[in-house]
Amino acid sequence: MMTMKKKIYPRISTQLSAVITSEEGIRLKVVAMDASQYGFSFQCSTLQRNSLTPGGCFVHNGRPVELDVLLELPFPERNKQIKTRCHVAFSRRVASDKCELGIRYEDFEGDGYKDLITFIESNLNNVSTLKMPLPQIVNQAQLCA
């Protein structure tokens, strides 16, 4: 039996334009602060967070809130847009009126994942701040912050 090795890439600090669409059709333009092979995070107002997640809770009807994301990756030759279906992995308040949302990729359209990995690999030399991967949901008390 052949074992496949999964390469782990560090989270890179970057600024990527993204358009996020909720299951209800609410669209929000954001700037991702970082990216990894697993997901990205961005900051928004608490009102924006509440429009993407029901009442600010990122688990709805027993499952994570799903979002459609169009993420723009800057490449030297031309920018590429990747489309991906995502889950909200975490939500934390960073100020009285500001939150940070962690987004975890679930499914990619076309060559989206390959383009993401190419982007990350091309930026590894520029990594200034490494962050840990997105936290896993630990218990029910952490679901709605």
| Domains located in the chain, CATH noted | 12-124 (2.40.10.220)
If one counts every other C-beta atom within 10 angstroms of the C-beta of residue 30, the result is 21
Q: What is the pLDDT of residues 82-140, one digit of tens each?
A: 999 999 998 899 999 999 999 999 999 999 999 999 999 988 866 443 343 444 433 33
* Secondary element (H or E) of residue 121: helix 112-122
pLDDT at 23 over 60: yes
* Secondary element (H or E) of residue 49: helix 46-52
How big is the chain by its Cα radius of gyration, in Å? 15
C-beta separation of 67 from 40 below 8 A: no
pTM as predicted: 0.78
Q: Calculate mean pLDDT across residues 31-54.
A: 92
Instruction: Report the pLDDT value the prediction gives residue 126, as an integer from 0 to 100.
Output: 60
Q: What is the pLDDT of residues 115-128, one digit of tens each?
A: 999 999 988 866 44
Q: Which tokens is 73 given?
A: 């990756």
